[in-house]
Amino acid sequence: MPSVAEIKKELDKIQTGYGMMSLTWKAEPVAKEIGFESIHKVMSLAKESGFKAFLNVGEFYGPDFSNLIYVREFFEKYPELRQHALVSCKGAFSGVTMTPQGSYDQVVESVRNCVDAFGGHIEMFEVARLDKSICKDGEIYPYESFKALAAMIDEGLIDGISLSEVTEEEIRAIAKDWGQYLTCVEVELSMFSTQILENGVAKANNDLGLVTICYSPLGRGLLTGKVRALSDIPKGDFRSALERFHGDSLVQNLKLVNFLEDEIVNKRPASNPSSLAQIALGWVKHWSFSAEYPKGKFIPIPSGSTIARVNENFNEERAKITDAEFEKINNFLKTFTTAGDRYEMHQ
């Protein structure tokens, strides 16, 4: 089992991770023959590049631990690949009531249940949301949640702790008490959701040497260019309830998509083409080389349930942007306002 230092060293090599929520958290999970082929491709690309694959799973990404079981069955089919993966699991959260469950006993139960469903130890575990309802007087974060995670590390069920959906103040407070166990911080970052660049979260990660794992780097599909109307979203997909994909909000949000296509994608030389999604992923990764975050590391974790999408998302050469393109995009973002908050529901 890797140490926290070894996990952080491996994370530093990774350019793109794999978000696995969309494999199972939908009306009909992705057929295993298709999903397994996609996971296998992710693993193969990582092996070819000489580093481990970062796989992001969740206790509540579907009913009855279906996400964890899905990935467990993949590794049962390809046991030789397990050693080439870094698995990060999100838990201690009710997928029914959508509320955190952060007491000591709840966190311990969550970790044990996840390890059982997954079929073995997990490299990183994160409470999906901090359970602020159990904070004692003066606590910035629920101390007992992390006491439980530390106990699970001591027991050998997990190797390290990742953080999820946290503020700058919470990151710094948790790092002060539990820094020896921390590996990375998972938060949302895309051109549509740049809050972590403005609220101190990215700066805290930079200062503390924590990798920033960036979920929804493609703006929940808007930055693929495949969503031009609400009808482009599959039936039963939770995105159809989000304000960003409705009416005037969608019209406003497509202004960013159109800018990227007109000013970046279409102006790339024929010898070095990139898709809209690759530009969006390249923008996230380019923050790793920015002057603002000299010690920063940003890893986008797009999904991808087909071989074609995995090949697109994990083509590291095509997902590089120039300093000039990065500056051009950021200058546009200064004048652009996303319509619809991250989880704002359409009324």
Catalytic residues: 61
d(CA 281, CA 314): 9
Q: Which residues pair with 127 in a beta bridge?
A: 91
In single-letter form, the type of residue at position 107 comes to: V
E strands, the chain, are 18-19, 53-58, 85-91, 93-94, 99-100, 122-127, 158-164, 182-188, 211-215, 298-300
Q: Which letter does DSSP use for residue 31 in this model?
A: P
Q: Is 252 in contact with 339 (CB distance < 8 Å)? A: yes
d(CA 232, CA 135): 43
d(CA 50, CA 290): 25
- Helix (H) / strand (E) element for 208: namely helix 201-208
Best CA proximity match to 122, nearest among 28, 26, 54, 223: 54
Strands 99-100 and 93-94: antiparallel
- Please state, in angstroms and as integers, the Cα–Cα distance from residue 273 to each residue in 32, 60, 284, 299, 321, following that order: 32, 38, 18, 22, 11
